[in-house]
Amino acid sequence: MGRTRPIRNRRMNREAIAGYVFASPWILGFIIFTGIPIILSFYYSFCDYTVLNPPSWVGLGNYKAMLDDELFWVSLYNTLYYAFYSIPLNLIWGLILALLINQELRGISWFRACYYLPSIIGGVPIAMLWRWVFNPRWGLINTFLDVLGIEGPLWLLSEEWVKPAFIIMNLWGVGSTMMIYLAGLKGIPSHLYDAAEIDGANAFGRFWYVTIPMLSPTIFFNIIMGIIGAFQIFSNAYIMTEGGPANASLFYVLYLYRNAFEYFRMGYASAMAWILFIIVLVLTVVQFRLSGRWVYYEGFVGR
pLDDT surpasses 90 at 180: yes
pLDDT band with cut points at 50, 70 and 90 for residue 298: low
pLDDT for 113: 84
The mean of the pLDDT values for the chain is 90
Pairing mode of beta strands 300-301, 47-48: unpaired
- 241's enclosing H/E stretch is none
Across 253-275, average pLDDT: 96
pLDDT for 111: 81
pLDDT for 301: 46
DSSP state of 103: S
Q: What is the pLDDT of residues 192-235, one digit of tens each?
A: 999 998 988 898 999 999 999 999 999 999 999 999 999 999 99
User: Which neighbouring-strand residues pair with 297?
Assistant: 300
pLDDT surpasses 90 at 265: yes
pLDDT surpasses 80 at 2: no
Least confident of 17-21, 266-270, 276-280: 17-21
pLDDT for 299: 56
pLDDT surpasses 90 at 297: no
pLDDT surpasses 90 at 17: no
Domain limits of the chain? Answer: 4-44, 64-301
pLDDT band with cut points at 50, 70 and 90 for residue 303: very low
Cis peptide before 245 (omega within 30 of 0): yes
**Of 146, 119, 139, the residue nearest 222 (C-alpha):** 119
**Of 165, 157, 174, the residue nearest 81 (C-alpha):** 165
Q: How far is CA 37 from CA 31, 94, 122, 238, in A?
A: 9, 35, 26, 23
pLDDT surpasses 70 at 4: no
At residue 227, the 3 state secondary structure works out as: helix
Across 177-187, average pLDDT: 93
pLDDT surpasses 70 at 8: no
Q: What CATH architecture is 64-301?
A: Orthogonal Bundle (1.10)
115 versus 179: the higher-pLDDT residue is: 179
The verdict on pTM exceeding 0.75 is: yes
257 versus 118: the higher-pLDDT residue is: 257
Q: What secondary structure, in 3-state letters, does 168-225 show?
A: HHHHHHCHHHHHHHHHHHHCCCHHHHHHHHHCCCCHHHHHHHHHHHHHHHHHHHHHHH
| Cα separation, 190 vs 186, whole angstroms | 9
Q: Determine contact, residues 155/162, Cβ cutoff 8 Å.
A: yes
E strands present in 44-201:
47-48, 56-57
pLDDT for 5: 65
| Cα separation, 128 vs 132, whole angstroms | 7
Contacts of 266 (CB under 8 A, 6+ apart): 44, 49, 50, 51, 259, 260
